[in-house]
Amino acid sequence: MPQLNPNPWFTIFLLTWLTLSLLIQPKLLSFTPTNLPSNKALTTKTTSWTWPWT
């Protein structure tokens, strides 16, 4: 069964993981969002839905 032979697939897995962790991850972590979240306090009060069968 070729699925049980880890020889080519383990190498592909390691190369993919190293590529992701060494090349792509620093680029994603250096991304700064353009719309920063605001620190506004929520002032809206929500009312619960009145179901007719309760």
Please report, for residues 8, 26, 35, 38, the alpha-carbon distance to residue 29 in angstroms, rounded to integers and kept in the order given.
31, 5, 16, 21
pLDDT digits (tens, 9 = 90+) for 19-49: 888 888 888 888 877 777 777 666 677 788 8
| Confidence tier at 15 by pLDDT (50, 70, 90) | very high
C-alpha 11/C-alpha 17 separation (Å) is 10
The pLDDT, as a whole number, for residue 45 is: 75
pTM of the model: 0.43
Record the tokens describing residue 15, joined without a space: 């190369």
Residue with tokens 């993919």: 16
pLDDT at 27: 84
In whole angstroms, what is the distance from residue 52 CA to residue 54 CA? 6
Contacts of 19 (CB under 8 A, 6+ apart): none
pLDDT at 3: 66
